[in-house]
Structure 1
Amino acid sequence: MTHCEAAAGCTAPPVVRIVAPSGTETIACDVHGARLLAATPDGRVYSLPGEHEDYATAVRYAAKRDGGAA
């Protein structure tokens, strides 16, 4: 699933890849990535290559801190 499919109308750049235990992958912005990670038990998050290297840590923290709420 792509970020556009997961969050129609979102204009933030995609910065992370969320991987569910089933292997399903979703590319998302930081806010929607945190929400998705919080809703995916045992999900994993990876930063997209390039200038987004530190986003996985921030998204993981946001998902644990407040369930991914913006």
Structure 2
Amino acid sequence: MASEGEDSALATALTSTLKEKNSLLIYACGIGLSFVYPVVAVILYYVTALMWIIRDLRIEKTLK
């Protein structure tokens, strides 16, 4: 993005930070729940990992 500038298609595709905010929220909930329900906390960590493994369609939609 540094070489293409802030107005590039890639920069436009990555303006939404919903995935990042959701990850932080899920991690925070997992940390809080780990003291009471450790199994639920582990499940939340797996959900967050799966969320990042699934490809980001924002880039593909913008480049088409």
More strand by share: 1
The higher-RCO structure (CA 8 Å, 6+ apart) is 2
Q: Which has the larger radius of gyration?
A: 2
Question: TM-score, normalization: structure 2?
Answer: 0.31
Instruction: Give the TM-score taking structure 1 as reference length.
Output: 0.29
